[in-house]
Amino acid sequence: MIKEYIVSSTERHSIWELAKEIFTHTSDHSDKTIFSNSLIVEAQLELKIREELYRLSRTGEYDAIIFRQLVDNSLIDIETPNKVRIRRNIDYIFEIIPLLLMSATGFPIAYEVQHNGRIINDVLPVEEFKNIDNSTAGVAKRFNLHTEDAYHNFPPDFIGLFCIRNNEKAATLVSILSDNIFTDKDYSSLFEKLFINQANAGSAQNYNYEVKRAILFGQKSKPNIRLNTARLPQIDNKQISSLLSSFVDILNENSQRVVLQSGDMIIMNNLRCVHGRDAFETDFSVEKRWLLRVLSRRDIAECLVEPFNVNVLL
């Protein structure tokens, strides 16, 4: 289920003060320094917010949570950049807020093959890429449902999207692996290691790791998922291939539209949800849609064998 949490004005104030303290008391603004500080003061986040993040990340009571009005949008007066930033610095106080919340779900991570390994990724439309499908820079076409970085050896456990602005009211699509998916058909083939997940065009071009994996894994009664429906794994067996497409149809039918507004944040369990985005229209101005994406993993020990691929701030 998706939990919706309306942040109170006291909580909003307290989170902002915490972020401001980290920002003003760090000598440099590299993501590494800011992260160390975030991890230490994350325990000072308001108790109710920490409780909700615990329910998301530890007990699994929620599959996703939306925090409404986490930040007073009058404090966000920065223009949307033309293109994604790749310098590994934290530029603004409000960027620390999604980092703080994600620190309560696990360790923030980034991929060296994306945005130069920057830990806070800009998600924004870019005019020259507007017709590219399944791209964060595209707008004219839908971004199909996927688990984040399904192709990667170490995909994130959680993905957070913090909305700086979304005047276009573009909808984020979220579909949860509900239990009733398994009532009408036998999906056991999807639990077999038969599938190769591909990265989307334009994303992670240098990462070419073709391991066959299962699409569904873990407990059969409440499985986890790893799948990119934008580039479905090719499978020769017609029966399994049609089973996969009927599974994707159900995910699409179950998907919910979430419109994030300035100051909102959604955090999804990347093992239980697939997400995407509707096509939308924008004028590509300095007021264009701008989200910040932060990823986290509960366990980073295994990422350290591939430090050249995963940016783990320690």
Which positions touch Fe ion (CB under 5 A)? 148
Burial, 257: exposed, middle or buried (Cβ in 10 Å; 0-12, 13-18, 19+)? exposed
CB of 140 to Fe ion, least distance (A): 17
Q: Is the dihedral of CA 176, 143, 100, 34 positive or negative?
A: positive
Query: Whose Cβ is closer to Fe ion: residue 93's or residue 119's?
Result: 119
Burial, 232: exposed, middle or buried (Cβ in 10 Å; 0-12, 13-18, 19+)? middle
Query: Whose Cβ is closer to Fe ion: residue 16's or residue 143's?
Result: 143
CB of 203 to Fe ion, least distance (A): 9
Distance CA(175)–CA(64), nearest Å, equals: 10
The answer on whether 51 is annotated among ligand-binding residues is no
Q: Which residues contact 81 (CB under 8 A, 6 or more apart)?
A: 122, 124, 290
Query: Whose Cβ is closer to Fe ion: residue 19's or residue 161's?
Result: 161
**Residue whose CB is nearest to Fe ion in the complex, by number:** 148
Listing DSSP states for 244-259 in one string gives: HHHHHHHHHHT-EEEE
Q: Which residues contact 269 (CB under 8 A, 6 or more apart)?
A: 56, 57, 60, 62, 63, 64, 157, 158
CB of 238 to Fe ion, least distance (A): 29
Query: Whose Cβ is closer to Fe ion: residue 122's or residue 148's?
Result: 148
The answer on whether 275 is annotated among ligand-binding residues is no
CB of 251 to Fe ion, least distance (A): 14
CB of 181 to Fe ion, least distance (A): 21
Query: Whose Cβ is closer to Fe ion: residue 34's or residue 225's?
Result: 225
Distance CA(189)–CA(298), nearest Å, equals: 28
- Which residue ranges make up the annotated binding site for Fe cation? 146, 148
Residues making up the annotated binding site are 146, 148
